[in-house]
Homo-oligomer: A and B are copies of this chain.
Amino acid sequence: MKNKPSINDVARRAKVSITTVSRVINNILTVSAKNRVRVEEAVAYYKYRPNISAQRLARGLNNSVGLVMPSYPGIFHSFYAVELIRGVGHACEVLRMDLVFHITNGSNPINTNNVGGVIFADVIENRKQVEGALASGTPCVVINHKIDDLDVGYIAVDNTLGGRAAADYLVSLGHKKVATVTGNLTTQAGAQRLKGFEELLEEKGVPLPKEYVYQGDYSRRCARVAAEQFLKLPNPPTAIFAASDEMALEVMAVIFEKGLKVPGDISLVGFDDNPACLFGPVALTTVKQPLFQMAEGAVKYLHTVIHGGGTARKKTILAPELVVRESCSSPKK
């Protein structure tokens, strides 16, 4: 039977009022040592745990955070989603907040009534939900998607800069024929990585023919097709930038299957700094995107906002960082 002890049981056993019990629970100092001990004994005796619903109702605030994940195909089986879940989960555990998890296709508004704040893991066809949550007065923060025309927090990496960094590195190695598999371009991150990549090539006077740009969607499947197409070209690229490490890994696999070498025949740059890329046949050079920390940052932001701190930085843009490993070299002449 689920017959939970209540604050009354504890109070009765400790022979104090429920108020005193409440004080002990909440670590309020104005309790005599004697009573404190009695209460603690009773709490232990009943294995008492306060009822959170009652606490929330009485306090009028809710220290749980909602994590909204778009159910966009494939997003779940990506490093991106997993790192965010992991990061948010850990941060909630540490800050003792409840994490309530929402999968959504963006169609109906999310119920912000049960949560103190919400984290959007990217915004893909669900901007309406952000607006709705905001309108209900719920603090929101979105990850990896800048939204400057709404009064919402965000924490994102500068994806344009990331794309530039990848291109710049490849060009500096002497590559003139560089191709890219993009991420999903309806995603802000995907579009900006491409933009930065294109920008830099143009600035350096390196042409980027259409057949060197394959519109992917972050999936390994696309990466495979892209790689096969690139390699079949009469004039194949000597370097490839993939908008995610997972795609880069797949590209690398295809290259090996064709009997070519990385970086000897083709140089490769990824995006994410996914640890899985360290132990393959060749460690991947990549643009680091600190997803785990972004997730933690989002939770901390909500935590301070919910607990009345007005001092939280609202909009954070992190600088990406190029991590040079073994997958790039100068092109053969």
* Interfacial residues, chain A to chain B (CB-CB below 8 A): 1-4, 47, 49-54, 56-57, 62, 64, 67, 69, 71, 76-77, 79, 81-82, 85-86, 89-90, 92-93, 98-104, 111-114, 136-138, 220-221, 224, 253, 256-257, 259, 276, 279-281
Contacts and interface: CB of A to CB of B under 8 A. Distances in A.
A52 B112 CA distance: 10
Contacts of A67: 101
Complex copy number for this chain: 2
Contact of A137 (B2, B86, B102, B276): B2
A1 B135 CA distance: 9
Nearest to A4: B113
Contacts of A69: 89
Nearest to A55: B53
Nearest to A278: B221
Given A98-B114, A101-B101, A103-B93, A86 B82 contact: no
Nearest to A253: B253
A279 B221 contact: yes
Contacts of A77: 79, 82, 276
A277 to B, nearest CB: 10
Contact of A253 (B62, B114, B256): B256
